Structures are given as C-alpha cells and as structure tokens.
Amino acid sequence: MQQHYPLFYTFHFYFFGVVAIASALAFVTRKSPVAAALWLVNTMFSLSAIFVLLDAQFIGVMQVLVYAGAIMVVFLFVIMLLNLGHPSEIADTRGKWPVFAASLIGIVMLSMIMSISRGRIAADFQVPVGFAAQQMEKYGAVGTVARPLFNEYLLAFELTSVLLLVAIAGAVVLGRRKTADAR
Amino acid sequence: MLAESLALSAVLFTIGVVGVLTRRNAIIIFMCVELMLNAVNLTFVAFSRFYGAEGQVFVVFVMTVAAAEAAVGLAIIIAIFRHRQTVNLQDINLLKG
C-alpha cells in the first residue's frame, strides 16, 4: 500500500488541493453571482489538475470541456439573461443564526465523512501498484474508460442517452414563452 | 494519496452543503449542487486510481446527469423568474401559481 511519491507530485497535489478549497470558499462567500460562477470555474480547473495527477487524464479533459466549458457557460448565460446585478438580488446570504447553524451542520457532516473515509477496505480489492499506468499503456487514456463503458455498462450508457433526450425536451417545454393561442 | 483525495473531496462537499444552506439565490444554490457533484467525482476518480478503472465510468455518468440537471433546472429557474421576477428563494415559498 505504502507507495513513494516524488516531491514534484506531492507538491502539485497539495497546491491544487489548496487552490480548489480556497476558490470553493471564495465561491460560497461572493455576493455577486458572476464572481461566484468564476470562482467555481477556478475550483473545477484545479480539480481537473488533480484528476490528471490521479491518472485520469480523460476525466480531467472532460472536466474542463463539459463542466467548466459547457455547464458553467450555461450558468453564466442564465445569470446574464436574468440580469441579476441589482442590489436587491445581491443582498443574498441569510442572517447570522442560519449561517451559524449551517456552519455547525457543515462541521458535523465533515467529521462524519472523514470518519467514514478512514474505514479500512480489504486489501484484495486493491489493484497492484502501477496498474493504472499499465492500463494506460495498453489501452490509452480513452480506452481505459471506454472499454468498461461499452462492455459492462452499455445498457446504462444507452439509458443515459434517453435521459439526455428527456432533459432536452423538458428544457424546451419549460423555457418556451407561452403565446396567447397556446394557452 | 487516497486519504488526501478523500479528505479534499469531503471538504469540497461540505462547502457545497453549507452554500446550499446559507445562500438564497437559486442560481448560486444550483452551482453549490454542481460543486457537490464535483466532490463526488473526485471520490470516484481517487478510488479508480487504487481499485480499478470502473470509477471513471461512473464519473462520465455523473457528468451526463449533471448536464441534464443543469439544463432542466435552469429552465425551471427562468420560468420562475418570468413568473415572479425574482430568484430569491425566500420569496418563492408558495407551491401555487
């Protein structure tokens, strides 16, 4: 289990971890929705760097393209479309007591998740050291994800396309402006 | 690195939860949910690094569901905004039109 990591690796892991946490904190405390969205994009970029450090290059690229590139742009579009800049929208966080209670809930939850994540997993579930790099050499970064996706999880993959179709239809129906004759 | 990744993921998830509980702007609450999904993705990737590549497949599914959820959710927010001229969740507390 105990694996030696070069200093370069450890430094970058901690660096991007700290950047991710700092920008997430900035994200929840910013008043302006646009600033919050941009801090969230920063969090996603540092998470994608961490994905690359964890030998998931394809997922790192998807994180930048899909999350930071597509989903957050949709969010920014909606923020600008609704023009959420005026003062009544900006005064946004709740009062003192709800924030205090929420922080308390957050601390309790954090300690719960931490204690769960320290649980032991049987050693025979674990793949040998260097397995990820070996897979990468054999199938490439995309093949590592694509092989299980199109073999064991093919049905789930097809169902996902149905889900996307339903979501598109739902978004169009909800976003349609009602005309007088359509009522 | 597994323990560090899980700790980072736990911290990000908790920040997302606290954001959902403390903010009132529906769009920011929605972005907090995206942050929580991202934290879960980090858990999947960290486990896939040490316990086989299937975790990355689940990350792909989570991303797809997040995209679908963002599309539908933002459409709902736009519909509410057209109706009530606000996205402040304290002003939207009645389940009638």
Show residues of chain B in contact with A33, CB under 8 Å.
25, 27-28
Q: What's the confidence (pLDDT) of residue A182?
A: 52
Given a contact cutoff of 8 angstroms between Cβ atoms, the answer to whether B30 and B87 are in contact is no
Question: What's residue A2's pLDDT?
Answer: 57
Distance CA B96, CA A71 (A): 30
- At residue A1, the pLDDT reads 47
Any domain includes B9: yes
Mean pLDDT, rounded, of chain B: 88
Domain that holds residue A11: 1-93
- pLDDT number for residue B42: 94
What's the number of domains chain B is made of? 1
Q: Inform me whether the C-beta atom of residue A82 falls under 8 Å from chain B C-beta atoms.
A: yes
Q: Read off the pLDDT of residues B57-75 as tens digits, 9 standing for 90 and up.
A: 999 999 999 999 999 999 9
State whether residue A132 sits within 8 Å of chain B by CB.
yes
pTM: 0.88
Task: Report percent pLDDT > 90 for chain B.
Answer: 53
* Cβ contact B55:A126 at 8 Å: no
Q: For residue A180, what pLDDT is reported?
A: 55
How high is the pLDDT of residue A89?
52
Chain B residues with CB-CB distance to A34 below 8 A = none
Residue B89 domain flag? no
A73 falls within a domain: yes
Looking at residue B81, what is its pLDDT? 86
Is residue B95 in a domain?
Answer: no
* Mutation site, B65, B69, B72, interface A, largest A CB count within 10 A: B72
Phi and psi, residue B88, nearest 5°: -80, 120
Find the residue in B nearest to A15 (Cα): B8
- Tell whether A69 is covered by a domain: yes
Are B45 and A56 in contact (CB < 8 Å)?
yes
Instruction: Label residue B13 by pLDDT band (50, 70, 90).
Output: very high
CATH number at residue B53: 1.10.287.3510
Write the residue in B18, B50, B53 that is nearest to A135 by C-beta.
Answer: B53
**Alpha carbon distance, N-terminus to C-terminus of chain A:** 65
Quote the minimal CA–CA distance from A65 to chain B in Å. 11
B40 pLDDT tier (thresholds 50, 70, 90): very high
Handedness of CA A171, B26, B63, A52 (dihedral sign): positive
Kindly state whether residue B7 falls inside one of the protein's structural domains: yes
Is A49 within a domain? yes
- Please indicate, yes or no, if residue B54 is contained in any of the structural domains: yes
Q: Which helix (H) or strand (E) holds A90?
A: helix A87-90
Average pLDDT, consecutive stretches of 10 residues, N- to C-terminus, chain A (183 residues): 77 94 92 90 95 91 91 90 65 74 88 82 74 79 88 92 93 78 52
Domain count of the fold of chain A: 1
Domain that holds residue B19: 2-84
- pLDDT value of residue A91: 57
> Which of residues B22 and A120 earns the better pLDDT score?
B22
ipTM value, please give it: 0.91
What's A41's domain CATH number? 1.20.120.1200
